Amino acid sequence: MQLHALLSSYFEKASNPMPLHVLYKPTSSRFQAAYAEVVAHFKDRGVNFIQEKSFRDDLGMLLESIKSDKIFFLVDDVIFADNVDMVDFASIDVEHFIPSLRLGKNLTQCYTVGCGQPLPEFLEGIIVGNDRLCWRWRDGKFDWGYPMSVDGHLFSTLEVTLIVKVSQFAAPNSFELALHGFSDCFMDRYGLCYVRSKIMNIPWNKVQTENSNDCGNVHQQHLLDKWEQGFQVDYRKLYSFVNESAHQEILLPLVRRE
């Protein structure tokens, strides 16, 4: 249900959408059947679905096969909440910038730390355009000082591939931790984002056991039950929602599946 909402919102809100590769791991025959429905729904969208065997090995092979020199990651509890031109986003120079889809002036709280976060000092004259904000990652606090996020940050494919080759991790959370271990190499680059966040992470639940991150109490089994009953996340209802944190718990809106 969450993956369906992510992909649906992506294809509605992202113009000039980039190719997507989805690593997924069903844990039961019921989840397998639900994933099969999602795969069928997006069969004409060119999404490459890969059933995971080993997350690290599968990610490594995927990175080796990608011909693009830039890459961004998403997780399945993300929603695209505002329009974004992916060609514009992907055109940014990742040698000097780490651009973000998740940051924006609306983010004044940090969910993962549980407190307010100040906006960084935005720099003038670095990038052209009045719809973008620029700062130094080293000068940011909390989310504004966390360049290696897998929630919609744009990277050099080569740099990520090299980090993967020399790092040990088992799943997405430990992968992001491995990326974060190289943060000092990227702190002097500029951050770049749009004035309003283009995506938001809605932590309704947690299915991983790698850390004890905060999350909501909407159990994944409940979501599966509702999916099998013909419901989907009413993701369009979230398009008008302006989040104050990169991760934000909100009530789960459901609607009959189209």
Report how many domains make up the chain.
1
What tens-digit pLDDT sequence spans the chain (258 residues)?
999 999 999 999 999 999 999 999 999 999 999 999 999 999 999 999 999 999 999 999 999 999 999 999 999 999 999 999 999 999 999 999 999 999 999 999 999 889 999 999 999 988 877 799 999 999 999 999 999 999 999 999 999 999 999 999 999 999 999 999 999 999 999 999 999 999 999 987 767 566 666 656 778 899 999 999 999 999 999 998 999 999 999 989 999 998
Give the angle subtended at the CA of 205 by the CAs of 202 and 208, to the nearest 5°: 115
Q: Give the structural domain span for 169.
A: 2-256
Q: Are strands 154-156 and 14-15 parallel, antiparallel or unpaired?
A: unpaired
CATH number, domain of 159, equals 3.90.550
Report field, pTM of the whole predicted structure over 0.85: yes
Phi and psi torsions of 119, nearest 5°: -70, 145
